């Protein structure tokens, strides 16, 4: 967990935002994914989101659904996916944020899940579909394993519920930029600015915006609204999917994309 707190502290001191690209481990292969992680970190990624495959990813749009299906179609198991995190940790020291669905954690076993994450070098877990009222087993297991946990807040989250979620989260809050599923969008919707303002009123935790973030101007917009970071997964997976048969070109394109997105987080460009 210390890696994540340290990252946010360093970025705050510099006046910059975190840029967090995401991938689906196992797509297109664990071997190439390790190179992808290394490339994105070298290009400026502050952390990496690892979206673990599931057969019914209700929060995900077509891009990530397809990546999940490809990975599962190759017979990839949860144990293999979680074990691969150690390979990602071996090539970088940036925080690794694991996004997983509640049913998968229950099947694997909450205590076992969070211990495996800790043993393999993960820093924080995003249990994307568990409501706060049912989160106690996850929170206990995560705390025992010294893994951070966060929850999602959305434009539809009431003020009272926002207070409760902020009190339960550790290290950061995942701010959903839109009502709907993941996927690259042309614009960041106005309600996210209102949500960030409400969240800033109830918590000092870093606020990281995801869902629909795909362009440098999106980062500038959420920065102006008070975000502390931005996550882009679908746009990254689109690049990986398009270039998977030409890995060298794909890695070059990823480096260019991550570099451009990270540049948009710099203080001197946000004024």
pLDDT higher than threshold 70 for residue 56:
no
Residue 107 has a CB neighbour count (10 Å cut-off) of 10
3-state secondary structure the chain: CHHHHHHHHHHHHHCCCEEEEEECCCCCCHHHHHHHHHHHHHCCCCCEEEECCCCCCCCCCHHHHHHHHHHHHCCCCHHHHHHHHHHHHHHCCCCEEEEECHHHHHHHCHHHHHHHHHHCCCCEEEECCCCHHHCHHHHHHHHHHCCEEECEECCCCCHHHHHHHHHHCCCCEEEECCCCCCCCCCCCCCHHHHHHHHHHCCCCCCEEEECCCCCHHHHHHHHHCCCCEEEECHHHHHHHHHHCCCHHHHHHHHHHHHHHHHHCCCHHHHC
pLDDT, residue 269, reads: 56
pLDDT in tens, 84-127: 999 999 999 999 999 999 989 999 999 999 999 999 999 999 99
Active centre residues (catalytic): 49, 60
Q: How confident is the model at residue 54 (pLDDT cuts 50, 70, 90)?
A: confident
Asked if 173 and 199 count as a contact pair (C-beta separation under 8 A), the reply is yes
Distance, CA of 257 to chain centre? 17
CA pair distance 265, 219, nearest whole angstrom? 7
pLDDT in tens, 175-231: 997 654 444 444 455 678 899 999 999 999 999 999 889 999 999 999 989 999 999
pTM: predicted TM-score of the whole model, two decimal places: 0.92
Please state at what angle helix 78-91 crosses helix 110-119, rounded to 10 degrees: 30
pLDDT in tens, 116-162: 999 999 999 999 888 899 999 999 999 999 999 988 999 989 999 99
pLDDT, residue 186, reads: 46
For strands 124-127 and 152-153, give the pairing: unpaired
Give the Å distances, CA to CA, from 123 to 3, 161, 198: 7, 25, 27
CA pair distance 182, 234, nearest whole angstrom? 7
pLDDT, residue 1, reads: 62
Average pLDDT over residues 165-184: 75
CATH node for 17-266: 3.20.20.70
pLDDT higher than threshold 80 for residue 165:
yes
pLDDT, residue 182, reads: 46
pLDDT, residue 57, reads: 62
For strands 207-210 and 229-232, give the pairing: parallel
pLDDT, residue 270, reads: 52
Average pLDDT over residues 233-260: 96
Distance, CA of 131 to chain centre? 18
């Amino acid at each position: 967990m210390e890696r994540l707190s340290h990252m946010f502290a360093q970025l705050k001191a510099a006046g910059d935002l975190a840029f967090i690209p995401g991938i689906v481990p196992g797509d297109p292969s664990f071997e190439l994914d390790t190179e992808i992680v290394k490339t994105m970190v070298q290009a400026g990624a502050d952390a990496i989101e690892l979206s673990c495959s599931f057969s019914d990813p209700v929060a995900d749009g077509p891009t990530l659904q397809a990546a999940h299906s490809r990975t599962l179609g190759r017979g990839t198991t949860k144990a293999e996916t979680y074990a691969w995190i150690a390979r990602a940790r071996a090539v970088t020291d940036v925080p690794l944020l694991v996004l997983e669905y509640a049913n998968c954690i229950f099947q694997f076993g909450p205590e076992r899940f969070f211990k495996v994450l800790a043993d393999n070098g993960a820093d924080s877990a995003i249990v994307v579909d568990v409501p706060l009222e049912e989160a106690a087993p996850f929170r206990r297991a995560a705390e025992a394993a010294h893994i951070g946990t966060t929850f999602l807040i959305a434009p539809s989250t009431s003020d009272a519920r926002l207070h409760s979620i902020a009190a339960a989260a550790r290290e950061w809050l995942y701010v959903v930029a839109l009502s709907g599923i993941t996927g690259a969008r042309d614009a960041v919707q106005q309600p996210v600015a209102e949500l960030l303002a409400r969240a800033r009123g109830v918590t000092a935790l870093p606020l990281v915006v995801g869902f629909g973030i795909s362009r440098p101007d999106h980062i500038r917009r959420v920065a102006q609204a008070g975000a502390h970071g931005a996550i882009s997964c679908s746009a990254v997976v689109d690049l990986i999917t398009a270039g998977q048969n030409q890995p060298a070109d794909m890695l070059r394109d990823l480096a260019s994309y991550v570099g451009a997105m990270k540049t948009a987080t710099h203080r001197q460009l946000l004024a």
